[in-house]
Chains A and B, each alone.
Chain A
Amino acid sequence: EADIYQTPRYLVIGTGKKITLECSQTMGHDKMYWYQQDPGMELHLIHYSYGVNSTEKGDLSSESTVSRIRTEHFPLTLESARPSHTSQYLCASSGPGGGKWANVLTFGAGSRLTVL
Chain B
Amino acid sequence: QKEVEQNSGPLSVPEGAIASLNCTYSDRGSQSFFWYRQYSGKSPELIMSIYSNGDKEDGRFTAQLNKASQYVSLLIRDSQPSDSATYLCAAQARGGADGLTFGKGTHLIIQP
Q: Do A and B come from the same complex? A: no
- B interface vs A, CB < 8 Å? none
